[in-house]
Every structure is written in C-alpha cells, then in structure tokens.
Amino acid sequence: MPEANGPLPPYAPPSASQRSLLRRRAASFGHAFRGVGMALRSELHLQLHAVATAVVLGAGFYFGLSLVEWALVSLAVASVWAAELFNTAIETLTNLASPGYHPLAGKAKDVAAAAVLLAALGALAVGGLVFGPKIWALLPR
C-alpha cells in the first residue's frame, strides 16, 4: 500500500483474467438492463411504475426535497421496482414450470404479488409523509 502523497505504484495494464472479469461484469449489467427493458415492454404495472417514478422525481425537484427525503424516496421507489421485477421473474418461471393449474403455482404467484403490495404500501407511507405536508401547505385556506 503506497503512503499518502507518496510515489504512485507503476501502472500495470489489466491482466487477461482481469480484462475478462471486467467484460463479464459489463455483460452482467447489459443482461440486467435487458431484463428491465423486457419486463417494461410486457408488464403494464411496470409501465405505470415508470410514469409514477417520473411524477415522483418531478415532484421531488419541484418541492426541493432535502437529502434525507431524497434518500427515503429513492429507497421507496427502488423497492417497488425491485419487488415488481422479482414478481415478474417469479410469474414467468411459474408459467414455464406450471402452465396448467396447480395450487403451488398459485401460491408462488400470490406470495410474489404480496411482496409487491407490501413494497407499494411502504412507498405510499413514505410518499405521504414526505410529500403530504408539502402539498397540504400549498392548499388554499
């Protein structure tokens, strides 16, 4: 480990194994973005989330949220997106594994949907607590 302000170690170009690691990491990001794109194209719920996210970000800038408020809103928005994406993945796998009716398939889908509901309720609570007082203050009295 070089001393602070000490001489920098000589530049070593990434080795072949490091380059392939970087390529794999970059490919993983590509797969993840492709997953978001595919889910967005097929799922109406996610399209609505995209609109809701744009509205929330716009409202956040309009009201000039504090850093902590931005952190809470970001977590709430991300948790709903994550829950929806997991739900889509579980629905897709369930349809593949059990195209016909099966109580376990129904259970998997219901539990995945419950996770979305929970994330959405949490986001609603955060949205109400962060934006509620600001909107209230704008209302004419």
Angle between helices 44-63 and 67-97 (to 10 degrees): 180
Nearer to ligand ATP, 52 or 57 (CB): 52
78: DSSP letter: H
Q: Which amino acid is at 70?
A: W
Answer yes or no whether residue 101 interacts with ligand ATP by CB under 6 A: yes
Residue of 36, 45, 57, 90 that binds ligand ATP (CB under 6 A):
45
Active site residue 3: no
Draw the binding track, 5-44, toward ligand ATP (x: CB under 6 A; -: no contact).
--------------------------------------x-
Nearer to ligand ATP, 109 or 134 (CB): 109
**Long-range contacts, stretch 87-90, CB < 8 angstroms, 24+ apart:** 87/112, 87/113, 87/115, 87/116, 88/39, 88/42, 88/43, 88/46
Of 5-13, 27-35, 98-106, 126-134: span binding ligand ATP (CB under 6 A): 98-106
Residue of 23, 62, 102, 133 that binds ligand ATP (CB under 6 A):
102
Answer yes or no whether residue 134 interacts with ligand ATP by CB under 6 A: no
Contact by Cβ (8 Å): 111, 91: no
Q: Helices (DSSP H) in 43-66: which residue ranges?
A: 44-63
Contact by Cβ (8 Å): 56, 72: no
| Residues at the interface with ligand ATP (CB under 6 A) | 43, 45, 91, 98, 101-102, 105-106, 109-110, 113
Could you list the active site residues? 84
